[in-house]
Each structure stands twice: as C-alpha cells, then as structure tokens.
Structure 1
Amino acid sequence: MKHFFTFFLLCFVLTGYSQENLTYQKPHKNILELAEAPLAPSIRIDNKGEHIVLLYRSKYKTIEELSETELRLGGLRINPITNIGSRTRYYTDIKLSTKNNGTPISIAGLSADGRYANFSWSPDQKYMTFTKTLSNGVELWLLDIKNTSAKKISEANLNANMGNPVTWFKDSEAVLVKVLPENRKALINTSEAIPTGPTVSVSEAGVEAQNRTYQDLLKNKNDEHNFEQLSQSELYKITLDGKASLWKSTAMYRGISFSPDGNYVMVTAISKPFSYLVPYYRFPSESIVYASNGDLVKSILQVPLIEDLPKGFMAERTGKRDFDWRSDKPATLYWAEALDGGDPAVDVPFRDEVFQQDAPFNGKITSVLKTIDRFRGITWGNDNTAIAYDNWWNTRNTRTYVFDPSNPSKDATVLFDRNYQDLYSDPGEFVYTKNDFNEYVLDLHKNAAYLIGDGYSDAGKFPFVDELNLSTKKTKRLYQSKLTDKLESISSALNTKTGEYVVRIESKNEYPNYYIRNIKKRNNLTPLTQFENPFKSIQDVKKEVISYKRADGLDLSGVLYLPTNYEAGKKYPMLMWAYPREYKDKNSAAQSTSSSNEFTYPGYGSPVFWVTRGYVVLDDAAFPIIGEGNEQPNDTFREQLVANAKAAIDAVDNLGYIDRDRVAVGGHSYGAFMTANLLAHSNLFAAGIARSGAYNRTLTPFGFQSEERNYWEAPEIYNGMSPFMHADKMKTPLLLIHGQADNNSGTYPLQSERYFNALKGLGAPVRLVILPRESHGYSAKESILHMLWEEDQWLEEHVKNKEEPETED
C-alpha cells in the first residue's frame, strides 16, 4: 500500500504540473504596438463614385463578446437571445464622404458605439439598410445618403440567424424583412433536457454518403426543435417610414430574390426531414415564386435532402439547380441540369444544360446553352449576347463562352479555354453596368465588351483594361498600369465610355487608398480616401520578393523582410510562414503573385510582427504540391514539402542573412499540417508553430483539402501524410495552438489534443494552447494577444536563444 501511495502521488505530481494555470498574457511591446494599431474604415462606394460609406470597427472582439450565448445547429452558430449569427463582425460607427469632399461626415441619429451589420444598398442607391444589434434583439435601420441621416424603422424583432434578413423591393420604397414569428415555441435547454430515447441513424445498403467532416451539425431531436424555431420567420413588408405589414406567414425562409422588374419574388424555404450528416444548406427545400403583393404564382423547385452525391468534387445532384433571374429581362428564370447524372465519372460530351422560362412560368421551357464541363454561371448582356462559364476541378480548366440567348440553335463560341491556376494568362473579369432595372449586366458597346485584369507576370503586377471584340475574339489594350514603385489594383468601372475607374494604390509603407482614375487622360487621379499608415514602426523595413529554385528546377518565391535592427553582415534567426497549394502543372505552380510594393499589413496571424524582435521573416513562401498527368499532387506530398522548405532556407542563407540552425516554420490550418510534417520528416528547423491544424487524416476519411480519394482507396496516402502516424519521429519543439470552438471542416480541436498526447507520450518537446471560445480564425483581443505572446516566447526560447547540443570531447 505504501508503494502504491508513493506511485499515485508521483503520478499526481507529474500530471498536475503538466498544465500551466495562465491568465491571458500580452506580447512584447514591439509586437503589442503593431497589434493594437487602429483599423482604417471599410468602404462602400456607389456606382457613380460619388458617395462613400465608411464603416468603422475595432480590430478585435472581446472575450466577453465571444462568450455570449451560442447555439451550434446545422452548420450555423446563433445567438438565440439576439437572433443573429453569434460570430457576426460588427461595425461600431458609420460615416459618409463624397469624391468632392473626402472629409468623413458623422451621420445624424447614430451613436459611435453601435453594433452594426448587414449593409445593403437600395436599388437606386439613395439609401442603405443595416441592422443594429441590441442586448435583446436586432433592429432595422435606414441610412439616407443625401441627408446624411439614419433612423430606426423596426423594433428589435428581426431574424438574422441565417444572414442578412433584408431584401429591397425594386422600387427602393420598401424592404422585405425576416421577422421573428409571434408563435415561436420555447427553446429546449439541451444540457438540462431529459432524453426520451436514443438517437438512431440509418444507412441503406448500397447508398453511399461520402461527406466531409462537417462541424456544428444537428445531433438529436432537441437540436432539430431548436434549429426549426431559430430558423423560422414571418416575412414583413416595411416601408421607409417604418410601416409594416405581414407579407407571408411562418416558414424557415432561406433565400429571397426579386425579379428585375420587381413584379415577382422567388422565395426558398427549408423543409424536413433534417439531417445529422450535412449542414442546413443541404436540407430539403422548396422554391416558390410569388407576385410582389404576396399572391402565389407557382412552386418551381422542390429539392430533397442531399446526403448522398456521386463521388468527386465535381459531383452534382440531379434535377434543376442554380435557379436565378436573367438580369437583362423583366422576369425570366434560368437554371441548370446535369446531363451526366451529376456523376463526374460518366463520360459525356456535355456536362450541363441551361434552360429558361418566362413569367408566369407555365409556358414553354427553352434550352439556351450546353456546357462541356460543370456550369458555373452566366453574365447576361442583352437579347443577343451573354457570357457563360464552366470549370472542371480535376484538370483545373475553365471555359468562357459567348452565346446568343435568343437563338439556342446557334452554337456558343468559346472565348477562353484555359487553366484557371495559370494567373499569368488570366484575361480578366468582364465589366458590368447597371441597366434600367438597376441590375448588373454586361457592359457592351456595339459588339465589344470590357475586361479588367490583374496583370500578373514575371515582372510583377500591372493591372489592365482590355476591349474585347466578341465576334473576332481580338482584344485591344486600353490601359495598363505603369507604376513600378507602387502597387495598383483596379476595383471597378464607373464609366467605360468616359474611361473612369475606381483604383486602389498602395506601397509597402503607404496605406491603400482609393482613387478615380481616368484612363483616357494622363496623370488623372481623383482621391476618394486619405487613410494614414497605422504601422509606422515597420514602414522602413527592408522588403523584397526573392526568387529561387527547387532542386528539381521549379521556380519558387517568397516575401523576405529583414529585422528593424538589421546590421549588414550579421546572421539572424528566421521565421518562415507558408501554406501548401496543389497544382496540376509546373508552369502554374512557378508563378508568383507577391509584390514588394504591397502594403506591409501585419494581420492578427502574420509573422511580420517578428521583424521587430530581431528575426528575418520569409512570408508567403511558395509551397506548391504538383501532380501532373495521372499523378495526384498528394502522391509525393512529403517529398515536395521538404524540397520547398530546403530551397527557401538555402536561398535566404545564400543571401547571407540567417543562421540556418536557427530557423522556425509556422502555418495556420493546412499550413499547420505542413509544419507538423516538416518537423517530422526533416531536420531543417529549430522549432515550429502550428495553429488550428489537422494531424490525423484517418479522422477525415472522405477527403480533405484537395484530396478526392477516400481513405479506403488510398490508405498509404492518408497514413503517409498524417503527422500523427509519425509522432515517433518528431523531436523538434512544436507549439500547437487551437481554437476551442473550431468550426472548420476537419480541423476539430480533437486533432491537436490527440497529436499533443501522442507527442507527449513519446517524449517530444511540445506545448498545446487551447484558446477558449475561438473558432478556426481567432477574433477576441485577449486570445490574439495571448497567441502572439505564446509564439514570441516559443521563438525566443527555441530559436533565437536555442541551446546548442553538447558535444563530446
């Protein structure tokens, strides 16, 4: 008994001191100064570039906000007291400015400490609606652009549990709003409810349901009850003066859209049965068209529960899908239907067919287009011209078609047929304009359309505007940026005839600001915003995009920062941050979109903070994983990871900046998975930081990231890629950080917990930090500052001040 007591006490001591009873910490003052720098406002610019809505918010939530009541149901996270998404990011103040006067103007009727969200322009852009969240609910507010004023137009009874609860009527004189039903039943407290029986799920023989590992799913009948009550709404028509009238009675409304002429409304509502395997957007649903006064016109679509789909990323359900309004017609619906049964394995000349039908939706249905690969949308122009898109994941291919909607017998012409990962050849996005219905349509001048492109190339990013002749397929370059010391992006077109575009211009130390550029005039820039750089302490950091080669000759790149205290000739520790990306060809994998002129913005998860702590930082290091032809990228995942890492370290070492024995690697999500693999299968690093990752792929057996094969088809891939399976090889210090409420598919907190237990059991140096209440991305100030403190402490101990192993005499 004495020996047993001694053993028990020893176990208690060993396990009791394996946890650290820490309160939230703050990082070093150099990091803290950057982390607490204020945010510039977000902006909403009207189509004429005349009025700018400025939205201000804090960079972070608080842990108190994050700890408000939350229910996780059917893939949603809901605050059942306020009836809005519990993870909603709120703005705290709203202001207005104009292109003629960039000074922000306060809005009458608003306080600067609100919780504002769900902003929507009216069709005529004279108004904007938004929601204000109180302690007991959500109100609807109206912003009057011309009068710079705002007012409340509803009580705190909106239902924003499935996103923005407001849809504008086309006349801009009223909105259709989801309101809490008066007859809503009380919610069940699932922690206190006494079960009435077990939860039973059934699988029918031969029916496959290979779904990803979704989180926040329904689990039992109590969850079903709560989901139904929280998703139910009544639809009310509310005029701009706040007069409300019931438009439709209670249902689980999901989507609402008006026809361009405003005479019809398509309403989609969720129905039963619910599922414990998939999120709410794969529950059964019915889409019904009503007249604008609420009269029933026709039920147009009934979708069953979608639990079982054919295998593959390009799988689709059978039947009508992707219903939408033609934006160039008063009231014409169009949709797609799979011609291959939704099964990517079926070999057919055309994958999808697109149909249309005019109001009142009881007449002739006409085919307008067939696509070679999976249909992905249409940009409507006029009766004779529209642009359609398809793509195919397995080949990374996309096509852009031009076709005549009025003449289905006329074959569509393929304008572009290309690898969508080949950014250097990207022709750009078509320019839109608003038509008489206040709908966005293709901006056409005779037979020409316009394209705005990013202009990536080996020389850098030089965005352009092209004119494309849709008959000859020939392009004429109207404008291309020539800025070399700054970075320009073209945000939108204001007027293609006069040549006015909204552009964003920045440099590595000049905060991004917006301008109106007239591409037909030289040196013509009209400033729209004047935001200051909030990160002065790093504005003079030496920054460059470095290019280097992998051992197999593949071109790679990364953004290199030198420490703020850099001294020529001195060797520094380095932090490398990366995220692996899969490619089907080496040409696309070798392309770079990084620019040394991009503003240096240290977001909450950025490694750039550590330039203030004496580290060289290699950010966005290229980590392509390539599988050409019949080979899949993951077939050589580990080998390519190590080759990418070695090439990056060699490149910076050859520049003379670093001590290669003091290099750390880090990443978030799939980057965390990368980090754990690199530490297990190479000796390149002194330490690693892995945030919110997945480490055992057998726990995601029906695919992960870009892997389509399931575990039973490729067990060697799943086991070989799983750091958990190689925990016995891991001897390098690893910091694991994970949000306790991670909602991302596959990256359950259990992944980090089990990996930590495996490493600890095998004697590896590892630390696990679980951040309370945090999801896949972290948001509370307390959590983020503590995360930065953890990372800084880890790097100081295991990298900068790394103890050299003792050598024998």
Structure 2
Amino acid sequence: MNLKRKINYLLFGLLLGISVQAFSQTTYQTPPKAIADLVNAPSTPSVSFSKNGDWMMLLERADNPSIEELAQPELRIAGMRINPATSGPSRSRGVENIKIKMTRSGEEIQIKGLPEKASIGGLALSRDEKYLAFTNTEANGISLWVVDMSNFEAKKLTDAILNDVYGNVMTWTPDNQILVKAVNPSRGSIPKAPAAPAGPVVQETTGNAAPSRTYQDLLSNPYDEALFAYFMDSQLMLIGLDGSKKAVGNSGMIKSFDLSPDGSYILVDVIRKPFSYLVPASRFPYDVEIWSKDGKKVKTLAEIPLDEERPTGFDATVTGPRSINWRADKPAILYWVEAQDGGDGKVKMEEREIVYTLAAPFTGQKQKLASTSLRFGGIAWSTDDFAILNERWFGARREIRSVINPSNPSQAKRVIIDRSYDDIYNDPGDPMYTENQYGRNVLLRKGDLLFMTSEGGSPEGSMPFLSTFNAKTKEQKILWRSQAPYYERVVKLLDEEGSEFITVKESTDIQPNYWLVNTKKRIAPLQVTNFEHPFESIKGINKQLVKYKRKDGLDLSAVIYTPEGFTPGKDAPLPVLMWAYPREYKSAEIASQVRGSKYRFTRLSWGSPIYWVTQGYAIMDQTEMPIVGEGDKEPNDYFIEQLVANAEAAIDHIVELGIGDRNRIGVGGHSYGAFMTANLLSHTDLFAAGIARSGAYNRTLTPFGFQYEQRTYWQAPEVYFNMSPFSFAHKVKTPILLIHGEADNNSGTFPIQSERYYNALKGHGATARLVFLPHESHGYAAQESILHTLYEMNTWLEKYVKNKNKIDPSR
C-alpha cells in the first residue's frame, strides 16, 4: 500500500475516533501443496480453425506472470492501462507457441522461427489463408511478424513500431499487405512531469445533467492529458511481405480503423479535444473519417461530440450517429444508427432508432434502411435481399430479431424471434457464420434456413444443439443434440447440409477435446485433439447438479462437489464452502430455470472455490441467487429478503442431503459476489465465515447506478442505503476476510471500498482481515498473488469453518 493511502487511512480512522491498527507487510505465502499443484497445472491450448476447417491453430499460452512483471511501470490514464515501454496494454499475456494440426489426419506441425520469449497477439490470417500475421510484444515495443503457411516459417516484418494502446492494431488488405497502426515516428520524447503545477485543476458544469458511472483511472490534470495525447499519437502504415513500409494518411490520435470489404477505403476514428476528467477515452469526442486506400480524406462522415451528458438508465444512449460499420456483404457501403428519442429510454416512441446507409463514393445523401422500436443491437448480413436486424431492451430483458431486405428498404421487416433473452429454456440459439469473398463473417444459411447453435437449456441442465431455423415459417428443426453423460457443442459447420461439423466434447472427468462428427455417413466420431487432463488429483471427486425450492416456491439449483469416496448419510457431514454471484430477473418463471450442466468438465481457474474439495470440504458452486422484481417493481426493491431466502434454501438442501454440516458453512464470492457475501453476514447468522474478494460495500460511492440498478441514489436513496453492507457494519458478527487488488480497474470497485468497509467493521468490533494485493487489478494475475490469495482463504476457512467448534468462545 502506498504512503498516500496509509496516510488517508490513518486520518479517516482518527476522524471517526476509531483505533487504527498499524499496517503490516508480509511475504507471499503458499497454500497447501494439493492446492498449489492444481494452480501450477499446465494450461490447455486454445484452438482457432481455418476457413474450411481442414486445419487448426493450437495456441499455447504463457503461465501466470510473476509479481516482478506486474510491478513494471504502468500508466493509468483515460480509463486505460498502458505499458509506457511498449506503447501497448499493460498486463497483457500473450501466446508463447503456435502449432498447426490437420483436422482429419491429426498431423501436427510446429511453426518455425517464432520469436524467443514470445508474447504473441493479434493473430490474423490473410483472406487467401496463405499467410498468418501476428504481433509480438518485446521489452521496448510491439513488432509485426508473418508466417508463410506454405512452409510454416515465421519472420519478423518490422521493428517494434506498432501502437496498441487503444483499439485495433492491424488488418490484411485484399492484395496481402498489412495495414497497421504504428507509433507516429515524429511523436518525440515522452512528456516530462512538471516540477510544480501551473495552477489548480478546475472543472465546471453549466447546468446540463451529466450522470456518469464510477470509472477508474480517469484523466486528472494537464500532465495526464499530455501523456494521453502522446501515447495515442499514431500513423497508419502499409507493410509489405518484404518488410517495406509506407505511411498512409495523416498522423493523429487514431482510435480505430477499418478497411472496407473491397479494400478501397479506410474508416478512421480520430480522437480530438476537449478531453474529459469525468469519462474514459471511449467517450471522448472524435471524428469519423473516410479515407481512400492511399490515405486521402474523402469525407468526414460524423463529428462525434464529448459523451458526458447522457440520460440515466441502461437503455439510454447517445444522440447522433453510432455503431458506424461497413456492410459485410458489399464492397463499400457504410451503415449506422441514430436514436430518435434523444437517447432517453424513458421516452415512449414507436420508431425509436433509424438505421441509415451510405454507399461509395459517399457523395450522396444517407438512405434509411430500417427502424427499430427497441435499441439497435446490430445487423447480421448475408446477401443483398436478406439480413437480420437485432433489437434489445434491457428494462424488459427483451430481444427482437427481424429479417430485412437491404435491397428494398421500403419492404416491412419480418419479425422471426421476439423473446426474453434471459429465457434459456426457449432460446432458439444464435446464427452460425461463414466467411464471404471479402473475408467478412456473414450468415451461414441455405435459402430460408438459418443454421443455429443453442446452449439448449432444460430442467435437466444445458444440452447444446445444432438446428435449422426457417426464417419464413419460424419452424426450428434440431439436427443434433448433446447427449448425457457429455456436454458437447458444435463450434464449426463443415458442409451445407449441417451433417458434418466439429464439436467440443467434455464430461466431468474428461478434458474438453475437439471431435469430427458426420451424422450422414453414420460413422463413429473422430477425435481430433488429445489434450490431457490437467487436474489428475481431482479426477475422482463427485459432482452433482442439485435442484431445490426457495420458501416462496421459486426453483433454485447449484453444483455440488464432494471429495472422492465421500458417501452422504454414511460419512460425517462436511464443512461447506458456498460460492455464488447474484443475478436480477424480471420474471420468477425465468429465474427458476436451471443453468449450467453437471457434465461440464471440472476446470479450475485462479478464482475457483473447487480447490477446497482437496481439503475435505463440500463445495456448493454456481449457487443460484436470483433477485426477482416483476412488472413495475425493480428486483433490488427486494434484494435483502430474497438474498437471505436463497441462502436459507441452499443451506437447508445441502444439510438435508447429508452432505453439509449446518454449523460449518462458509460463503464467498468475487466482485458482486463479494457484495453478496457482506450482505449475508450483515443480515443473517447462517454462516461460520465469509470471504469477499474485490467487492463494493458502500453504494453511495456509486451513486449513478451499479450492476443492474438503473435508478440513481437520489431516485432511490433507501435502496442504496439498504443494499450497502457498509450501512450495517455494526451488525456483522461473523468473521469476514476481505481481499482486494490494490490496482482494481473495475467500475465501482475502488480499493477504498474494502478499506473503508474494514474500518467500519473494526470500529464495531467485528472479526475481519483485510488483504491488499500489490499491483493486482480486479482479477488477480501474478503467480505469487494467486497462491497467496488461496493461502489466505485456506487459513480463514480452516480456522473459522472447518475447525469452528475448536474456537475458544472467550476469544
């Protein structure tokens, strides 16, 4: 913890009249070997398929970085985190190795000539798939590399010249050159911090409402502004396969760029002043320009103003053009949307948004393509007479998908799906895509038949399926479905009939692997990959999906893990770690739906609670904590009472199963799950201990909304007060462990949330421990931090949960 934070902490404690315990620094600790070994298990490669699925890339990623790597210099400005040495993102962890694997033969080919100590990112195949481009982050910058796919040889094309601090960094042209965003060669030296400020920092408002969520890492002074302008300063360059470089267009604070499908034009977003101290760079003003492929400005399509003043609510948006993109099915036609309601979701309108198009050479007037009654959610393109328009509305959790005819905008759209997007039992799925002649993703369809994949939610858990959906009749035909005892999903379709495809197949103890399936030839599926089980020590644990009811009749579910050999009813009940994350719903029926599958592979991430099954605990994971508010009622109006009812039902069920010991149940969660944990300890004595990681505990510090709460503090002050664990710190009698990354970058979960909550707990005599992890953000990354977090959690659980009955009540 830095000196400034220590001083603030001491002053805060003195102001409250609270006795303040001195901070202590400890060395990094490690958890029991069984847990550490699981953390150190090798990672499984990720997979990316070629266009026709004949081969795949196996991408082997690096292990967790060391704390020394995380401690490298980092700039936190305008909502971004920049590595000043590389002009790229800080904390990035790339691919270390690339292999090519043939789908049918299984032959595996190592890419030769890769950089030493590689940190590879931005992988992109040329349209003809003859070349693979990628970036490599070096000590002093980011370079561009290319692989010749005819001989699988990699070579370096440029020095470390790329600028990857914001937006995209490269794209292929149709003639196999690479358009990149480079550091402006003329940007000079990094600005030096002034020895003394030139004057005070002043912000002023002139009466227009500018509600804003609580963002991290914003600009705070003129020096921050100078640093932001310096690191955003970019130059587009065209790189040849021989390493030749050619500047394209003017340099500037280039936010993003996108080549038209035919390669004739470049859509460029250029940030301009004034900057803001209230919102991140994504909401700074910028110009949307159209350039010719050689960099000459053809047109300024839009001048997007500073986005500080926006109506409240998650269905609010900006006025003017937004979501400006190229049509995927045409050589060079732009489309975008403009709100007709002033961006205010509370305004009732039938034609809420209008989608416009403008075709090259961009000298004509914009043309109306379609309109929406909800907020625009994108367009899935196919051909000139068929596309799918998506609309969504958060307040009603509603989505509408309609077929439109781009060649005849006057033709009425035809609604094919109108549903609650929370409803997983009746989810028809999402369309599958294929690449067209421009290298763009378009709908994979056969006439009126769309190919769809769905999670396949059901009362027995998820059973993914592949289907066709008839856009005329709205009839859905399931072509294939995952079967127990496996969880299997289609990831790539290989023919036009939907009879041959690649799946990822897994089960509780079977590592996910890729399979080639052919339903027409009636031949046995062919296993394509053979990734080994990384967690051998827990292969024998028991896993079950359980269903139970809340006292008001709402159906709930959870996944329970127990140690190998444990028999409920025969063996003594176990200590329990319950892990959860609350979610809000507008329908009790939908909130009752079973989510997840008992056949999913038991994969451990850095934040998983499953580690403690090795220590003799039962784990109640994915414990459903639905908060329901139907009609004109908001879910958070009932947050505490429903949260408590969820916890009571979960505890009753695991005890009735003969698995859990009612007196030895701990509860925990991360982020909003930490907020949940603190609330449960404030309003119940159900648990033996709690673990809260990287949470927010005082909702008045996020006054313009949080999570799915759309109302502001001033609109619903009682909700903000009652939902804040800080308000009820005096009621906490259960031991609570607070862990927080000192560099948390998540909106609303400033480290001060844990700091002040801990002060309040200590001031009222609670049993609490606060652990700040140096250099860690909202998710923890360093190997030392992860192991120490698990050490802290294990120590807390052993003392206050597993051995609760051994605690001296007089202490």
Once the 2 structures are TM-superposed, how far is the Cα of residue 526 of structure 1 from its aligned partner?
Answer: 2.9
Q: 1:41 aligns with which of 10, 30, 45?
A: 45
Residue matched to 2:306: 305
The 3 A distance-change label for structure 1 pair 497 and 790 is: same
Q: 1:722 aligns with which of 721, 724, 733?
A: 724
Q: Does 1:519 align with 2:545?
A: no
2:495 and 2:352 map into 1 onto residues whose CA distance is 37
In terms of mean alpha carbon deviation, does 293-302 or 104-113 score higher? 104-113
Residue matched to 1:362: 363
The correspondence of residues 330-345 of structure 1 with structure 2, limited to 5 A, is 330-345=331-346
In terms of mean alpha carbon deviation, does 542-551 or 367-376 score higher? 367-376
Coordinate RMSD, CA, aligned? 1.7
The correspondence of residues 43-442 of structure 1 with structure 2, limited to 5 A, is 43-111=47-115, 113-171=117-175, 173-190=176-193, 193-205=195-207, 207-442=208-443
Once the 2 structures are TM-superposed, how far is the Cα of residue 61 of structure 1 from its aligned partner?
Answer: 1.2
1:253 and 1:112 map into 2 onto residues whose CA distance is 30
Once the 2 structures are TM-superposed, how far is the Cα of residue 112 of structure 1 from its aligned partner?
Answer: 5.6
SS of the residue corresponding to residue 195 of structure 1 reads coil
Cα distance per residue 1:415-467 (max 9 Å; x no partner): 01100000111111112222222222122322322222221111232222222
CA contact (8 A) 1:95 1:104 kept: yes
Once the 2 structures are TM-superposed, how far is the Cα of residue 18 of structure 1 from its aligned partner?
Answer: 4.6
Give the residue type in structure 1 aligned to 2:60.
Y
1:232 and 1:723 map into 2 onto residues whose CA distance is 44
The 3 A distance-change label for structure 1 pair 17 and 444 is: closer
Residue matched to 1:617: 619
CA contact (8 A) 2:333 2:360 kept: yes
Once the 2 structures are TM-superposed, how far is the Cα of residue 259 of structure 1 from its aligned partner?
Answer: 1.3
Give the residue type in structure 1 aligned to 2:657.
L
Once the 2 structures are TM-superposed, how far is the Cα of residue 627 of structure 1 from its aligned partner?
Answer: 0.4
1:121 and 1:751 map into 2 onto residues whose CA distance is 44
Give the residue type in structure 2 aligned to 1:681.
H
CA contact (8 A) 1:498 1:520 kept: no
Q: 1:760 aligns with which of 736, 759, 762?
A: 762
Residue matched to 1:697: 699
Q: Does 1:495 align with 2:515?
A: no
Residue matched to 1:3: none
Give the residue type in structure 2 aligned to 1:224.
E
1:16 and 1:759 map into 2 onto residues whose CA distance is 12
Give the residue type in structure 2 aligned to 1:43.
V
Q: Does 1:796 align with 2:798?
A: yes
Q: 2:744 aligns with which of 731, 742, 745?
A: 742
In terms of mean alpha carbon deviation, does 517-526 or 62-71 score higher? 517-526
Once the 2 structures are TM-superposed, how far is the Cα of residue 753 of structure 1 from its aligned partner?
Answer: 0.3
**Could you list the runs of 5+ residues in structure 1 that have no partner in the other structure?**
1-10
Residue matched to 2:654: 652
Once the 2 structures are TM-superposed, how far is the Cα of residue 309 of structure 1 from its aligned partner?
Answer: 0.6
TM-score by length of 2: 0.95
Residue matched to 2:11: none
Identical counterparts, % of pairs: 47
SS of the residue corresponding to residue 95 of structure 2 reads coil
SS of the residue corresponding to residue 731 of structure 1 reads coil
Once the 2 structures are TM-superposed, how far is the Cα of residue 740 of structure 1 from its aligned partner?
Answer: 0.2
In terms of mean alpha carbon deviation, does 174-183 or 269-278 score higher? 174-183
CA contact (8 A) 2:461 2:598 kept: no
2:524 and 2:197 map into 1 onto residues whose CA distance is 70
1:72 and 1:379 map into 2 onto residues whose CA distance is 36
Give the residue type in structure 2 aligned to 1:387.
I
CA contact (8 A) 2:236 2:251 kept: yes
Once the 2 structures are TM-superposed, how far is the Cα of residue 170 of structure 1 from its aligned partner?
Answer: 2.6
SS of the residue corresponding to residue 92 of structure 1 reads strand
Cα distance per residue 1:693-746 (max 9 Å; x no partner): 000000000000000111111110000000001000001100000000000000
CA contact (8 A) 2:375 2:392 kept: yes
1:502 and 1:112 map into 2 onto residues whose CA distance is 33
Once the 2 structures are TM-superposed, how far is the Cα of residue 103 of structure 1 from its aligned partner?
Answer: 4.9
The alignment of Structure 1 onto Structure 2 pairs a total of residues equal to: 792
CA contact (8 A) 1:455 1:462 kept: yes
1:737 and 1:358 map into 2 onto residues whose CA distance is 54
The correspondence of residues 463-542 of structure 1 with structure 2, limited to 5 A, is 463-481=464-482, 483-497=483-497, 499-542=499-542
Residue matched to 1:604: 606
The correspondence of residues 557-596 of structure 1 with structure 2, limited to 5 A, is 557-564=557-564, 566-567=566-567, 568-596=570-598
Once the 2 structures are TM-superposed, how far is the Cα of residue 16 of structure 1 from its aligned partner?
Answer: 8.9
CA contact (8 A) 2:737 2:769 kept: yes
CA contact (8 A) 1:585 1:627 kept: yes
2:304 and 2:629 map into 1 onto residues whose CA distance is 37
TM-score by length of 1: 0.96
Once the 2 structures are TM-superposed, how far is the Cα of residue 564 of structure 1 from its aligned partner?
Answer: 3.4
Give the residue type in structure 1 aligned to 2:164.
A
1:588 and 1:501 map into 2 onto residues whose CA distance is 32
Cα distance per residue 1:318-348 (max 9 Å; x no partner): 1111111111111111111112121111111
CA contact (8 A) 1:69 1:79 kept: yes
CA contact (8 A) 2:629 2:636 kept: yes
CA contact (8 A) 1:93 1:111 kept: no
**Could you list the runs of 5+ residues in structure 2 that have no partner in the other structure?**
1-13
SS of the residue corresponding to residue 433 of structure 1 reads strand
Give the residue type in structure 2 aligned to 1:714.
A
Cα distance per residue 1:119-171 (max 9 Å; x no partner): 22222222221111111111111122231111100011111111441121133
Residue matched to 1:7: none
Q: 1:668 aligns with which of 664, 667, 670?
A: 670
SS of the residue corresponding to residue 160 of structure 2 reads coil
CA contact (8 A) 1:564 1:614 kept: no
Give the residue type in structure 1 aligned to 2:487.
L
